[in-house]
Structure 1
Amino acid sequence: MSLPPITLTGHMQKEAWQNKLLPPVEQLNNDVWSIPVPFPNNPMRYTLSYLLLGDGDAVLIDPGWDSEAGLDHLIRGLRQAGIGLRDLTGIVATHYHSDHLGMAARLRVKSGAWVALGDREVRRLSACEDEDLVVLRDREELTLWGVPADRLAEVAMDKPTLAHLQNLADPDLRLQDGELVPAKGLDLSVITTPGHSPGHICLVDAPHGLIFSGDHVLPRISPHIALELPGPPNPLEDYYESLDRVAFEDVMEVCPAHEYRFRGMQRRAAQLVEHNRERSAEVLSVMNRHRPQTIWDIARHLTWSRGWDSLQAFSLRLAVSETASHVMYLRSRGHSIDIPVTLPSPAAHVNSAS
């Protein structure tokens, strides 16, 4: 089915995206600025942070990956907007991923600003968790999904990755669905949109006609919907429900955290639903044609933009976890798929081992 295209608004951002360049800092209106922050060694290349200026308050949405280069770009963007780091009063991350929440801890120290996440967001790892147990469970999960023994080290979490995740900022504030971000002179409301992460949020600036969509809705890429263990049992179903929640109109400008701005939230949400429905249908087709025994077996028969053989390391992990999310969704819709997906709970695991 052919769906109507979205309407491009971030022309300079799209040109920079196509030319593999960092887009410029842009003033969207008197009170809102778009500031790109580099995302090094990643095909996404940058995170689009958004600065909102209120009545003495200044809130930054999605500060981006923590690096010296990123901090430098952010500081220069703030200067263009007429403020410095110490003028920041709040930092909101749409979700816990490192290219969104990453710089929040450093900025909080330098500015004194509070850090906020959605009230349903779950930090994958906290500082008190046993690293050895986390590594063990992760490898058990990937083995259950059929990742070959000679690819486990490439795909599994390692201790440096765990240390990075454990050092992400814990929030000072938790934002509930329908709540206003606590900043004077701003009318910024929260919509809880789980799917890409357990407690992802979008933010609506109705007076300026803007929706800050994080990674929930991007103009070209279909956001990754992964099965995270532990985590919500059916993230793809959560994602469909969340798309319905943000597709309440089609005229406001959508300000995503990657790629470029556009109008047409309803149109783009419909495209994303269609894309994921087609993906689930492809999973069923693979089940019927190849009789796979594991998640890995399904994933290697699916269509990938650069081909299955091109997937390595983190990209390969994402592909397998995305496939697992489709299997869980299809099961919830009544399809009989007899493939192992979930591990026993940690408590059950310990009991059975003893």
Structure 2
Amino acid sequence: MTQVSDHGGGVRSIRVPIPDNPLGHTLVYVVDTDRGPVLIDTGWDDPASWDTLTEGLTMCGTSPDEIHGVVITHHHPDHHGLSGRVRETSGAWIAMHAADTAIVRRTRETQPGHWFAYMTAKLTAAGAPEEHVAPLRSARPRTLPGLCPSLPDREIVPGELLDLPGRRLRAIWTPGHTPGHVCLHLEEQHPAHLPGHGRLFSGDHLLPGITPHIGLYEDPDDDGGAPTRAKPSVGEVTDPLGDYLDSLERVGRLAPAEVLPAHQHAFADAPSRVRELLTHHEERLTGLLNLLTAPLTPWQLAERMEWNRAWEQIPYGSRNIAVSEAEAHLRRLVKLGRAEAVPGSEPVAYVAV
């Protein structure tokens, strides 16, 4: 059954299902404004998800054709997937940070075959075995969910109030999970007068019981679609994990009275949760350094990292995500001067210093 929660002060949430995903659902928030309801995220582009969103909006006293606008925390399909359908139904605008809009545009323009070629080269460079890479070499281009996301028509500018008449919703840029991830600070007194500064729609940046995935976002058109194997200078590479940790600290200093995340449930005491996540990542980096006493490729490191299940039980696609996370942690360690690439290694291996 469709589940709707009233958070008070003209804010409700709808649990929109994500098909075949352990997360289960995305919390889509419905925010009342003087020009009609505005959605924060929309859920996965799936018929059952659309039906749930529609039913949930009816339970909130509105409907898809009355939506005034859609604010996207980040471009992932469980957040942005239904945005286009909402816009087609209502004429609503869609807003997103420019860095994630660039990814949406790139995704729309890149042919699936090019992505398969890029992933083949990327995983080979990371040290993946041939039996893992081989399916990508023979993959037939096909339509996959999220490969044609809707282009937004408004830009979310960090630090500025969004155009929501009658509300004070300020954009906080929180890169890490994606380059353009934003949290949204509702600068209004908490309806239950909880201590703190307003409420924070945190997307996937700050969740009560999950550590969000932090991986690498590369452009497949760089260097002809193949990842660079030479060691880049520290100033030239992105550092998603470093960005995420910095963003966490900024969110902690906001000290909102309540956090309204995109998954799980609302919670208080954001600074405490931030401290838990900062400690978790520091311990994880220390653990990886212990693994890197001998040279390891990103694939070998991912095999040895601690996940929520044994490596042999991790599905094929999730292994690709795990390798990307290992690479993000390696990049952080290299930037901190705590690890380095082994000269002449092919595929490139890393060791603690």
Secondary structure in structure 2 of the residue aligned to 1:212: strand
d(CA) in 1 for partners of 2:322, 2:84:
30
Alignment partner, residue 25 of structure 1:
4
Q: 1:319 to 1:155 in 2, by over 3 A?
A: farther
2:333 is aligned to 330
Q: Given the superposition, is the C-alpha separation of residues 222 and 254 from structure 1 closer, same or farther in structure 2, using an over 3 Å criterion?
A: same
Cα pair 1:25 1:77 within 8 Å, conserved: yes
| 1:224-248 residue CA offsets vs partner (Å, 9 max, x unmatched) | 0001223962100100111112112
1:127, CA displacement in angstroms?
2.7
Please give the alpha-carbon distance, in whole angstroms, between the structure 2 residues aligned to 1:255 and 1:341.
Answer: 45
Question: Considering only aligned residues, what root-mean-square deviation do their CA atoms show, in Å?
Answer: 2.2
Pairs within 5 Å for 1:263-274: 263-274=268-279
Tell me: CA distance 1:154–1:135, structure 2 relative to 1, closer, same or farther (3 Å): closer
Q: AA paired with 1:160?
A: R
Higher mean C-alpha displacement, 322-331 vs 291-300: 291-300
- Choose the corresponding residue for 2:252, options 236, 247, 252: 247
Of 323, 333, 336, which residue of structure 2 is paired with 1:320? 323
Contact 2:2 2:55 in 1 (8 A): no
Amino acid at match of 1:172: D
The equivalent residue for 2:223 is: none
TM-score, normalising length: structure 2: 0.85
- 1:195 and 1:225 in contact (8 A); partners too: yes
Residue of 299, 304, 321 corresponding to 2:307: 304
Q: Is the 8 A contact 1:195 1:238 kept in 2?
A: yes
SS of match in other structure, 1:26: strand
Q: Does 2:290 correspond to 1:285?
A: yes
CA distance in 2, matches of 1:146, 1:249: 41
Structure 2 unaligned blocks of 5 or more: 191-197, 221-236, 349-353
Q: Which residue of 2 aligns with 1:48?
A: 27
Q: Tell whether 2:218 aligns with 1:215.
A: no
Instruction: Provide the secondary structure at the position in 1 that maps to 2:38.
Output: strand
Q: Partner of 1:123 in structure 2? A: 103
CA distance in 1, matches of 2:122, 2:217: 10
- Aligned partner of 2:339: which letter? S
CA shift, 1:149, in A, is 1.3
Q: 2:218 aligns with which of 226, 229, 236?
A: 229
Deviates more, 1:30-39 or 1:132-141: 132-141
Deviation per CA, 1:277-324, whole angstroms, max 9, x where unpaired? 111111111111xx2431011111111121221111222111111010
2:142 paired residue number: 160
* Contact 1:105–1:169, Cα closer than 8 Å, also in 2: yes
Note if contact 1:57-1:185 (Cα within 8 Å) is conserved in structure 2.
no
Write out per-residue CA displacement over residues 88-128 of structure 1, whole angstroms, 9 at most, x where no aligned residue.
Answer: 01011100000000111111111110111112323253333
Deviation at 1:342, TM superposition (A): 11
In 2 relative to 1, CA 92–158 (structure 1 residues): closer, same or farther, beyond 3 Å?
farther
Which residue number in structure 2 is paired with residue 8 of structure 1?
none
Q: Is contact 1:57-1:184 (8 Å) kept? A: no
Compare relative contact order (CA 8 Å, sep 6+) and give the higher one, 1 or 2.
1
Please give the alpha-carbon distance, in whole angstroms, between the structure 2 residues aligned to 1:251 and 1:96: 24
Alpha-carbon separation, structure 1, partners of 2:140 and 2:205: 27
213 and 146 in structure 1: CA distance in 2 versus 1, 3 angstrom threshold: same
Distance change (3 Å), C-alpha of 1:190 and 1:89: same
| Aligned counterpart, 2:243 | 238
Aligned counterpart in structure 2 of residue 261 of structure 1, from 245, 261, 266: 266
What is the aligned-residue identity percentage? 35
Matched, 1:188 2:165: no
- The match for 2:39 is 60
Residue 76 of structure 1 pairs with residue 55 of structure 2: yes
Contact kept? 1:295, 1:341, Cα under 8 Å: no
